[in-house]
Amino acid sequence: MLDFIIKRLIQVVIVVFLALTAVFFLIRLSGDPTTLFLPPDAPREQIEEYRELLGFNRPLYVQYTDFMKGAIQGDFGESLRSGDDALGLVLERMPATFQLAFSALLLSIIIAIPLGVLSAYKRNTLFDKASVGITVIGQAIPSFWFGLILIFIFAAQLKLFPSSGGGSVNHMVLPVITLALYSVSRFVRFTRSAMLDVLNKDYIRTTKAAGTPTSTLIMKYALKNSLIPILTLIALDLGVLLGGAVITEAVFSWPGVGRLLHQSLMNRDFPIVLAGVFIIAIIYAVINFITDILYAYVNPQIRVK
Amino acid sequence: MRKNKVLITFLLIITMLLAACTEGTNVDGNSSSSSDSSSDATSQGPLVIGFEADATTLLANHDVNYTTDTLIRNIYDPLIDRDSQTAEFAPVLAEEWKNIDEKTWYLKLKEGVKFHNGADFNANAVKFSIDYILDESNGSFYRSRWANVEEVVVLSDYEVEIHTSVPFPSLIQRIAEDLLIMEPGYVEEVGIEKASSEPVGTGAYTFVEWSRDNHLKLKAFEDYWQGKPGIEEVEFRIIPEFSARMSAFMSGEIYLFKNIPVDSVKQFESNEVKQISSSRINYLALSNLVDGPLKDVKVRQAINHAINGNELLETVLSGYGSRITGPLSQLNSDYAETKEYDYAPDLAVKLIEEAGYSPEELTLTLDTPSGRYPMDSHIAQAIASQLQSIGINVEVRVNEWGQHLEKIQKRETGDMFILGWGPAFDAQSTIENLFTLDAPYSSFYQENIEKKIKETNQLFDQEARYAGYAKLQQQLVEQAAWVPLWQQADLYAVKSSLNFSPRVDEKMNVFEMSWN
């Protein structure tokens, strides 16, 4: 088991390293940040001076090794625009993004698992077909569009919730619903199929034949046994939710990491982008790591493989 | 049993993470009255203004970005401002100014003005603010514009002299457009970092709270030298998406925002839309620096005749804009009338043939940004189709804004590109930055024109200077240096409870607003 954990940890480090490397070179392909910071009438000498000051006139591999040296020590440099510590800015925004992602995850679980269980239990009824239909639509609707529709109906027309910004619980309602839409759809379908697998097993039929009440059958036997794959999906979906928060944060002006990254990319504020990628890659990799470890703990065959 | 343990462990991890995340977020937990969505806009609470982006810093004289400047002008005062409608210079913290000789300027300052922290405004504050720009180690993005300033000399508490290394006739423009006055004592005491997030100025509003990318809250400065502002509290709320800004406006959460897209104006009540002709111009650059047919003046003139600017303005921009015929907007103090290239496709074909081409053998590229200027990429497509109607092939290339700007700066665009410039109120800041060899923003260059620009820039005599720029405008139009398109219309959404008149310089000074 220890070997397995060490191997997986090494993989986490490699994933984060590769993500940083890829993004480092990709954002440099987007161009030179001095273009956007200096006034358009800045003379060439000043542009060159800034390029030198920021180190952008050095060969790319030198910039890369310098960046990696800093990154290993947790130093991603300062925002090119405001001069604030890049990693600090990202970490400052993390709670708002987590708040959004976890609330959406909770909402998804609360809605999706009962719905998925019921769908499986009442398979091929109208209820089942309706819920499967709704989940297909839910997965197909772009969250950007769905968010704007919610804003238009519930903020602009009905004035029930604020249209944007962060602050109270009221502010969270619409963005959380928007972000949860996709996950709810995925969870319902996954829970339904996991439950169907279990419900077809012999021991369930035997238990049912023995006259066990339906609620006990579902809660004690069927759901418990299908929960492991569902929990795995939920854990992995947290990464998806953190990623999906970028769009939702932009639509609802939610002051989280997604919006910070989006704006920093537009402004070519490289240090913030890289610090953000670093944090998100770590979260993603760690969630995967925990899931793998739990899986291996439950199923020793995985370790052997 | 083992499975149970796994489940419990897993759920515990999730619960702990959740608990960790729902505390200490930087989103304040109090729902302010302004964001209480169930209440409509009333003239009781704070004035909430929707903004597309946030300031990058609240320190004055550092970032040239429009958003930063617009927000912080409510906290800091300039020495000289522009009249909101005529763009003439207007005294603020400087009562009068004059040039002693070609390299020396004298400014007399207003007495009895206080900073928010109680400190007196005086000549030291002016010197400190200009020195901040000049000091390389501060990395101010304004520095290149002030490079001609040699020294600021304090003559007395309320008098300063500014010495320049070369004649610098446009110094007053720089003072009006760039310089805001900081409190030296405060900056030195708390340091740049804190002064950047908790600013102190002499402006109409004092700092209350800044939640980056979320909101900036200010309140009226009781001892403001022009009298207490009419609006008590202000919140600039950052809402990047236009649709979200529009919804916030409709639900009464915000009272004012700028930049309604021309194709969305109809969605607003007519009395809630205010417009003003901006001094920001849009143009189609014709490059004579790349090898190709545009090196020939006749081809450039032909393109001017082949493009129907009025039609573009009416159909694509729904009439929101004012046509220009030369390189300067009519709001520009050096504006001179120039001849207009009327729409004459037959003449265009004739000119192309005189240049030794046939329209069908011309293939030109047209670079355009997307979303930077009103309907920019649509305008590019429409221009392409107008040119195609006389046989010229046009390849439109749509770029992300940063990439577009970089292409222009590195002279990597092809034959034509769309760009905006401004808001500009004097000829020098436009012509010098567009038509000299070092200035990439027009891609048009002629040695004799650059020589004339340099001569005119040095002139101190107002009449001679005006005549020089008038001549230059005529020359540039004759040479068909570009296709002048229009002055943008700035479109604002304004609630009827707010008394707000748009300014020609796009600034939003809350002191000039009031509740109806």
Tell me which of B369 and A204 has the higher pLDDT.
B369
- pLDDT score of B5: 47
Q: For residue A54, is pLDDT > 80?
A: yes
Residue B37 pLDDT class (50, 70, 90 cuts): very low
Q: What average pLDDT does range B134-156 have in this prediction? A: 93
Contacts of B147 in chain A (CB under 8 A): 43
CA–CA distance, B265 with B349 (Å, rounded to integer): 38
* B167-200 b/e (C-beta count within 10 Å ≥ 16 → b): bbbbbbbbbbbbbbbbbbbbbeeeeeeebbeebb
Residue of A nearest to B34 (CA): A162
3-class SS at B274?
strand
Q: Give A244 or A20, the one with higher predicted confidence.
A: A20
Residue pair B279/B329 in contact by the 8 Å Cβ criterion? yes
Residue B429 banded pLDDT, cuts 50, 70, 90: confident
Provide the sign of the torsion angle of the four alpha carbons B479, B480, B482, B488, taken in this order.
positive
Amino acid occupying residue B272: E
* pLDDT level of residue B1 (50, 70, 90 thresholds): very low
Task: Compare CB distances from A228 to B3, B147, B215 and report the shortest one's residue.
Answer: B3
CB atoms within 10 A of CB B118: 10
Average pLDDT (B364-383) is 95
The better pLDDT of the pair B429, B225 is held by B225
Of B18, B30, B144, the CB nearest to A167: B30
Q: Which residue has 């996954």 as its token pair?
A: A190
Residues A158-201 pLDDT 10s: 889 988 887 778 889 999 999 999 889 989 998 898 888 888 88
Give the integer Cα–Cα distance in Å for B193 and B188.
11
Task: Kindly report whether the peptide bond that precedes residue A40 is cis, defined as omega within 30 degrees of 0.
Answer: no
> B186 falls in which pLDDT band (50, 70, 90)?
very high
pLDDT of residue A219: 74
Task: Calculate ∠ Cα B393-B398-B403, nearest 5°.
Answer: 130
Which residues in chain A are contacts of B238 at CB distance < 8 A?
253, 255
Nearest to B253 among A35, A163, A297 (CB): A163
Measured at the alpha carbon of residue A248, what is the angle toward residues A245 and A249, in degrees to the nearest 5? 80
B-chain residue closest to A170, CA distance: B31
- Which residues are paired to B97 by β-bridges? B107
Q: Are A279 and A257 in contact (CB under 8 A)?
A: yes
- DSSP class per residue in B399-457: E-HHHHHHHHHTT---SEEEEEE----SHHHHHHHHSSTT--SS----HHHHHHHHHHH
- Give yes or no for a contact between A39 and A26, defined as CB atoms under 8 angstroms apart: no
Angle of helix B462-478 relative to helix B427-434, nearest 10 degrees, comes to 40
Residue B30 has pLDDT above 60, yes or no: no
The token duo for B245 is 């800004």
Residue B482: which H helix or E strand, with range? strand B482-494
Q: Do the Cβ atoms of B244 and A171 come within 8 Å?
A: no
Pairwise CB contact (< 8 Å): B214 & A165: yes
Using the beta-carbon criterion (under 8 Å), do A159 and B252 form an inter-chain contact? yes
Structure pTM?
0.84
Q: Is the separation of the CB atoms in B445 and B435 below 8 Å?
A: yes
Distance CA B223, CA B116 (A): 8
- Pairwise CB contact (< 8 Å): A159 & B37: yes
* Strand B498-499 to B514-515 pairing: antiparallel
Name the band, by pLDDT with cuts 50, 70 and 90, for residue A301: low
Question: How far apart are alpha carbons B475 and B477 in whole angstroms?
Answer: 5
Mean pLDDT comparison of A218-222, B22-26, B156-160, B235-239, highest-scoring range: B156-160
Specify the amino acid at residue A206.
Answer: T
Helix (H, G, I), strand (E, B), or coil: what is residue B216?
strand
**B29 vs A159: CB contact, 8 Å cut-off?**
no
Q: Please provide the average confidence, as pLDDT, over all residues in chain A.
A: 86
Q: Are B153 and B139 in contact (CB under 8 A)?
A: no
Residues in chain B with CB shorter than 8 Å from the CB of A263 are 53, 213, 240
Would the CB atoms of A255 and B214 count as touching at under 8 Å?
yes
Strands (E), A192-240: none
Angle at A237 between CA A233 and CA A199, to 5 degrees: 25
Q: Are B344 and B305 in contact (CB under 8 A)?
A: yes
Q: At what angle do helices A86-121 and A224-252 cross, to 10 degrees?
A: 130
Rounded Cα gap, residues B423 and B407, in angstroms: 22
Among the residue ranges A181-185, B223-227, B346-350, the one predicted with the least confidence is A181-185
Three-state DSSP string of B90-106? EECCEEEEEEEECCEEE
Distance CA A251, CA B103 (A): 52
Cα B111 to Cα B415: distance, rounded to the nearest angstrom: 55
More reliable by pLDDT, A159 or B207: B207
Please give the pLDDT value at position A299. Answer: 67
pLDDT at position A286 over 80: yes
Cβ within 8 Å, pair A156-B247: yes
Chain A partners within 8 Å of B145 (Cβ): 39, 41
What whole-number distance in Å separates Cα of residue B505 and Cα of residue A9?
57
Distance from CA of B397 to the nearest CA of A (A): 16
d(CA A235, CA B17): 12
Contact at 8 Å (CB) between A39 and B409? no
Q: How many CB atoms lie within 10 A of CB B139?
A: 15
Confidence band, pLDDT 50/70/90 cuts, at residue B31? very low
A298 to chain B: nearest residue by CA?
B3
Quote the radius of gyration of chain B (alpha carbons, Å): 26
Task: Say whether pLDDT at B360 is over 70.
Answer: yes
Closest residue in chain A to residue B196, using alpha carbons only: A82
| Cα angle, residue B194 at apex, residues B191 and B195 outer, rounded to 5° | 75
> Residue B16 pLDDT more than 50?
no
Element (H, E) at B321: strand B321-323
pLDDT at B497 over 70: yes
- CB-closest option in A40, A152, A255 to B247: A152
Residue B254, min C-alpha distance to chain A (Å) = 10
Residue A88 in this model has a pLDDT that exceeds 90: yes
The residue with greater pLDDT, A169 or A225, is A169
DSSP B113-147: -B-TTSPBP-HHHHHHHHHHHH-GGG--TTGGGGT
CB pair distance less than 8 Å for B251 and A44:
no
Range A100-121 average pLDDT:
91
The mean predicted confidence, pLDDT, of chain B is: 90
- Closest alpha carbon to B334 in B449, B455, B471, B436: B471
What are the tens digits of pLDDT across the range A132-148?
998 999 889 998 899 99
Report the distance separating Cα B236 and Cα B53, nearest Å.
10
Beta-bridge partner residues of B282: B420, B486
Interchain proximity A167–B21, CB inside 8 Å = no
Nearest one of B34, B255, B38 to A161, comparing CA atoms: B38
Closest to B58 measured CA to CA, from B197, B212, B209, B208: B197
Query: What pLDDT digit, counting tens, does each position of A61-85 carry?
Result: 999 999 999 999 989 999 887 788 9
Q: What are phi and psi of A247, to 5 degrees?
A: -70, -45
Residue B234 tokens, joined: 């202000």
Binary contact (B63, A161; C-beta < 8 A): no
Is A148 within 8 Å of B243 when comparing Cβ atoms?
yes
Query: Is the Cβ pair B139, A83 closer than 8 Å?
Result: yes
Confidence of residue B44 (pLDDT cuts 50, 70, 90): low
Q: How confident is the model at residue A156 (pLDDT cuts 50, 70, 90)?
A: confident
Chain A: residue nearest B11 by CA? A231
Interchain pair A164, B244: CB under 8 A = yes
Hey, are the CB atoms on B24 and A95 less than 8 Å from each other? Answer: yes
Q: Which amino acid does the sequence have at B292?
A: G
Taking contacts as CB-CB distances below 8 angstroms, the residues of chain A near B440 are none
Distance of CA A217 to the CA centre of its chain: 34
Q: How many other C-beta atoms lie within 10 A of the C-beta of residue B378?
A: 17
Greater confidence, A24 or B27? A24
Give the closest-approach CA distance of A298 to chain B in angstroms. 7
Q: Check whether A218 has a pLDDT greater than 70.
A: yes
Mean pLDDT, to the nearest integer, of B46-53?
Answer: 94
How far is the alpha carbon of B421 from chain A, nearest alpha carbon, in Å?
A: 9
The C-alpha of B52 sits at a distance from chain A's nearest C-alpha, in angstroms, of 10
Is the pLDDT confidence value at B491 over 90? Answer: yes
B18 contacts A171? CB cut-off 8 A? no
